[in-house]
Amino acid sequence: MPTFELGPNQYGKAETRLVHVERGAGGDRLTDLNVSIALRGDLAASHLTGDNAAVLPTDTQKNTVYAFAREFGIAGSEAFAIRLAEHFVAAQPSIHEARVTIQRYPWIEIDGRHSFQRAGGEVRTVTVHHGHHGTQVVSGVSGLVLLKTTDSEFHGYLKDRYTTLPETRDRVLATSVDATWRTASGFTDPEPARAALIEAFADTYSHALQQTLFAMGSRVLERCPDVVEVKLSLPNRHHFLVDLEPFGLDNPNEVYFAADRPYGLIEGVVRRDGVTIPQEVTWTF
């Protein structure tokens, strides 16, 4: 029988749902998180023989999330993710690297006391990689849906035998922003980055969603001196002008069909010039 080799591997508890309430005289503070952990290290025995002596159970990881929320509070997703990642590596010699990803669901205060309304689809994200390479923090936003009703063109593109798309000088442009950004070290307040994304989407006269992407990434770099790199994944949520001519009607950019699938998907990185970007730790499977 041939022998086989264990390649890259990781394990952890995914999607631990933690809601933390900081009680205060001036009203409660609510933090609503979805925490996912992945660990790497001396895990070969567990795979090869089922010997779990080096395995910290995922159940324990979940417990740690809840206990740390009480022991240390939650000063922010970034700090909480860093604390967790550092803990697993420091506490267990068999664990060499940790990745902690947190999704944060925003809530809106209703009465300034103890009532809240969930803000909706937009989610704030952070991923921390910690290990022998140091600590990397990548913050972001996901599901931020933006639309502009004009100031978007698309023409001058390649044509081949399979091209039927008419050029347009005025279209609706809509996307659901999935963005992440990193600093050279540490992390920075995500609010200015988020605001820059929205602002650049709105005020960029667009000849391509690619152009809008670069403008959005550049705006973040302009506004956030600590940020050295921005990644954007922008689905082009097509809004097709409906042909009303069969009904004897014109359609002066007024009535649109919002399509589900297929959709364009534009993805890119915008970087600060002359800054060395650390090699990204990708643990994607």
Among positions 201-260, residues that touch its own copies (CB under 8 A) are 201-203, 206-208, 210-211, 213-214, 217-218, 221-222, 229, 231-233, 235-236, 239, 242, 244, 246-260
x/- track of binding to its own copies for residues 169-208 (CB under 8 A): ---x-----x-------------------x--xxx--xxx
Return the amino acid letter for 185. Answer: S
Would you call 238 a catalytic residue per the annotation? yes
Q: Is 4 in the site for its own copies (CB under 8 A)?
A: yes
Give ∠ CA 91-11-51 in degrees, rounded to 5.
75
Separation between Cα atoms, residue 51 and residue 45, nearest integer Å: 5
Task: Tell me how far, at minimum, the Cβ of 17 lies from its own copies, in Å.
Answer: 4
Task: Tell me how far, at minimum, the Cβ of 78 lies from its own copies, in Å.
Answer: 19
Would you call 212 a catalytic residue per the annotation? no
* Count of residues of this chain found to bind its own copies when the rule CB under 8 A is applied: 146
Q: What does the block give as tokens for 51?
A: 């010997």
Q: What does the block give as tokens for 68?
A: 């740390």
Separation between Cα atoms, residue 196 and residue 42, nearest integer Å: 42
Return the amino acid letter for 260. Answer: D
Task: Tell me how far, at minimum, the Cβ of 254 lies from its own copies, in Å.
Answer: 6
Separation between Cα atoms, residue 36 and residue 34, nearest integer Å: 7
Q: What does the block give as tokens for 29?
A: 């503070």
Q: Is 142 in the site for its own copies (CB under 8 A)?
A: no
Evaluated on CA atoms 40, 45, 48, 50, the torsion sign reads negative
Task: Tell me how far, at minimum, the Cβ of 71 lies from its own copies, in Å.
Answer: 7
Find the binding residues for its own copies in span 65-94 (CB under 8 A). 66-67, 69-71, 91-92, 94
Task: Tell me how far, at minimum, the Cβ of 113 lies from its own copies, in Å.
Answer: 8
Q: Are 230 and 208 in contact (CB under 8 A)?
A: no
Would you call 13 a catalytic residue per the annotation? yes
Q: Is 141 in the site for its own copies (CB under 8 A)?
A: no
Q: Is 168 in the site for its own copies (CB under 8 A)?
A: no
Q: Which stretch binds its own copies (CB under 8 A): 28-36, 76-84, 126-134, 185-193?
A: 28-36
- What distances in angstroms separate CA 70 from CA 19, 22, 31, 63, 89, one per listed residue? 11, 10, 13, 11, 20
In the set 58, 60, 149, 183, the catalytic residue is 58
Closest CA to 127 of 34, 18, 25, 220: 34
List residues with catalytic annotation.
Answer: 13, 58, 238
